[in-house]
Amino acid sequence: MELLEGQVPVSVLVGENISIHLGTNVPPDELTLVEYVNGVARPISLREGSFQLAQEKGTHYYGAFARWTSPQNSQVSMGDTSFAFVIRGVEKK
């Protein structure tokens, strides 16, 4: 959450599906997502790189981790990255 201090949240309708696109031609072998609720990381289930925003209005903080491994040996890392983002859940007018 500290990484996102001062960032303006993107407004999204509560319950909407959100897709994570990393901008690479090679999808990661592993993609994990957590939502930070009261300072505690809560795992979020992803389906083909997408998840459903919570039904609750308000600000939601997320952290993600992606990892690529060698096609020949899954024990060999080809790289990884992590990032955070913030979303403001709003109701339909």
pTM, to two decimals: 0.88
Q: Which residues pair with 13 in a beta bridge?
A: 90
Cβ(62)–Cβ(86) under 8 Å?
yes
pLDDT at 5: 84
- Which pLDDT belongs to residue 39? 84
In the predicted model, residues of the chain with pLDDT beneath 70 are 93
What was the pLDDT predicted at 38? Answer: 87
Q: Can you give the pLDDT at residue 92?
A: 78
Residue 20 confidence (pLDDT):
93
The residue behind tokens 């339909």 is 92
